[in-house]
Structure 1
Amino acid sequence: MNSSKNKILFAVNRTKPNADILVKRLSGAAKRENFECVIEGKFPPPEDAFKDAKCCCVIGGDGTILSCLSGAAKYGVPIFGINLGKLGFMATFTDSISDEEFLDMVNGKNAEMETRTILSASFGKNRFLALNEFAVKSQSPAEILSAEVLADGEFVADFVGDGLIFSTPTGTSAYNLSAGGPLIHPKARVFALTSICPHTLSNRSLVFDSETKLEIRAKNPNAVLIRDGNVEKSWRGEPLFVEAAPETVKFVRPAGHSHFYILRTKLGWGGNPRTQR
């Protein structure tokens, strides 16, 4: 985290209980330590709000973090996620964090920085970034998707089914996992392609290295691109390119943060089933 910067940006999902109380408490503590605190009133926050920020304290849940992707990636601002939602895979902290703990970690004490790969999808003059995944589907929910996929110009396969998911390691515990895709450690420089309800049962997930550029040629005249759960745009006749983006997103984590602990607790992994009742 850049120690020379003095601005803390607060991105707050005010629909969450206690969000206003929490941002008031933490921003008040930061101001007493001479930090400049900006509580962004717009949601999602505009990209320019991230300029010159030391970190972005996101109060809400994983969905709130996803809304901050563009600005955080553009300006290289670390995300300090406080979970007021349900699962909270990306938002590490809770509203029980003390003022002292918050300020220590903002200043780099008892904290570590984790870098996450994100994906880029482009067609024509359009370019989008995703922290979890891109999905390609037919615009009509009753229509199957038929698409040809190439990797660095080499034909991979024709995919026929309900759609395709292109997932970052971060996103493999989200839509990709629900569709039967693999879990990938967030430090791996790879991304996954998972077919949704494929008509050919032998179609299984594929994992590509971060240097691979995929080209998707949808045969449907009304295919749509979905970014982190939000429909972005439909396109006709143009190839869609998906690849690991040169941008990354950083997260502030407590020292000793364990990805496997998160998986065990959030996904309900147990111990030895023979010893459980």
Structure 2
Amino acid sequence: MTDYPRRALVASPTPPAQVAAAELADAADWVDVDDADVVIALGGDGFMLQTLHAMLERRRPAVPVFGMNLGTVGFLMNEWRRHGLDDRLSRAKPFKVTPLSATIEGADGRIHTLPAINEVSLLRETRQTARLEVTVNDRIVLPDLACDGLLAATPAGSTAYNLSAHGPILPLGSALIALTPISAFRPRRWRGAILPDKTRIAIRVLDADKRPVSAVADQREVRNVARIDVAMDRARELTLLFDPEHALDDRITMEQFIA
């Protein structure tokens, strides 16, 4: 059990989250995020991703985050409750989340390095099908994949865009990455792959001038991509806190039984 004496409060700009933040204003002597032992995040899944990315950008050890849902789905969040925060934090179950790191080379030669907590995706920019060469651990496994796109998802992100693209649900702690095509045209029967999380994935855009492709790491996009390299970034692990009755691993498991 952990008390987390120094707590920071961050909230989405949406009206429900702002109202909730006002209700919690007197619940603790809130400190700045940089001085906190734990961060309380009020909002939806999108705001949780923004909060986690802000921690990654600070380039210092990230503190745990306890989210409360004031958004829509709230898959990464706990139930919103005004009272009982001390007890909830002392009982909260921690889960480690390892982000992906995407090194993106633009057609102009510029290099962008972006983290992704859910997924890294490549998407065609025009009506023309994207053509991609896929390499796994320095071995070309798909010399010419024709598709609308391709994504690599973490276990934490496997129930997001990956699931909508008919990718597999990965249990937390499974040490796996889902590599999932989006509307693959050729090879027509390729449905994706489940890879060890030590795998290095490289994707080269074929015919980039005629068939431009964009890369998206969670919520950040780079257009006109020539190549992207994706791997797990274990040096920047994050911690999410969940009520024992709403633990993330249980929620991911139960998603497999939703019709």
Q: What TM-score bracket applies, with the shorter chain setting the length? A: 0.7 to 0.9
**Is 2:46 the counterpart of 1:57?**
no
Q: Which residue of 1 aligns with 2:31?
A: 37
Q: What does residue range 56-75 of structure 1 map to in structure 2 within 5 Å?
A: 56-73=39-56, 74=59, 75=61
Q: Which amino acid aligns with 2:124?
A: S
User: How many percent of aligned residue pairs carry the same amino acid?
Assistant: 26
Alignment CA distance shift 1:259-1:69 (3 Å): closer
How far did 1:86 drift?
Answer: 1.6
RMSD: 2.4
Quick one: which of 217, 223, 238 aligns to 2:213?
223
Question: Deviation per CA, 1:206-263, whole angstroms, max 9, x where unpaired?
Answer: 11112111111011233211122x35212454x3100111212211112354446535
CA distance in 2, matches of 1:9, 1:161: 44
Aligned length: 245
CA distance in 2, matches of 1:167, 1:261: 19
**Is 2:23 the counterpart of 1:25?**
yes
Q: Which amino acid aligns with 1:172?
A: S
Q: What does residue range 174-185 of structure 1 map to in structure 2 within 5 Å?
A: 174-185=160-171
Q: Which amino acid aligns with 1:37?
A: V
CA distance in 2, matches of 1:121, 1:196: 19
Specify which structure has the bigger relative contact order, considering alpha-carbon pairs within 8 angstroms and separated by 6 or more residues: 2
How far did 1:202 drift?
Answer: 1.2
How far did 1:264 drift?
Answer: 7.5
Runs of 5+ unmatched residues, structure 2: 106-110
CA distance in 2, matches of 1:265, 1:232: 31
CA distance in 1, matches of 2:98, 2:125: 28
CA distance in 2, matches of 1:210, 1:263: 18
Question: Deviation per CA, 1:106-140, whole angstroms, max 9, x where unpaired?
Answer: 4xx21221111211101354211111111101222
Q: What does residue range 1-277 of structure 1 map to in structure 2 within 5 Å?
A: 6-17=5-16, 19-31=17-29, 36-38=30-32, 50-73=33-56, 74=59, 75-94=61-80, 96-98=81-83, 101-106=84-89, 109-124=90-105, 125-140=111-126, 142-157=127-142, 158-199=144-185, 200-219=187-206, 220-221=208-209, 222-228=212-218, 230-237=219-226, 239-246=227-234, 247-259=236-248, 261-263=250-252, 269=258
Alignment CA distance shift 1:161-1:203 (3 Å): same
Question: Deviation per CA, 1:40-73, whole angstroms, max 9, x where unpaired?
Answer: xxxxxxxxxx423212211110000111122334
Alignment CA distance shift 1:10-1:143 (3 Å): farther
CA distance in 2, matches of 1:256, 1:56: 20
Q: Which amino acid aligns with 2:251?
A: I
Q: SS at 2:173's partner residue?
A: coil
